[in-house]
Amino acid sequence: MDTNQMFAIMDFIMVGAGAYLLYTWAMLQFRNVIREGVLIPSGLGKKCKDIEGYKKYVGPKLMIFAVCALASGGLGLYSDYVKPVNSILYLSLTGVFFVVLVIFVRYIKKAQEMFF
């Protein structure tokens, strides 16, 4: 397996993760369902003290994280299969994704302490 195929697989995974995160956001916003395993550990879904507060706290951050994952994976797929893009742009967007990932994990842990 060459390097381009490995990056393409990672980009597919990022796009899939971004799509699933958007689904998780929609379930939280419109059906008040907290996806266990994504936002919280399994078994805590029904123990939320304030679902509206949780939605307001986590919802925007989850949307930003999902969009970053979709953008990073989408740009990678575009670069792999359509037209190569500037590597600085690709690496910068991937770096932004990882920074957002770290910040998102910190917010999720804080939200778990606040609302469960």
**Structural domains of the chain, count:** 1
In angstroms, the CA 115 to CA 36 distance is 14
CA distances from 11 to 14, 51, 77, 84 (A): 5, 33, 6, 14
pTM of the full predicted structure?
A: 0.88
Which tens digit of pLDDT belongs to each residue from 63-101? Answer: 999 999 999 999 999 988 888 888 899 889 989 999 999
Could you list the residue range(s) of the whole structural domain that residue 102 is in? 3-115
CB 79 within 8 A of CB 88: no
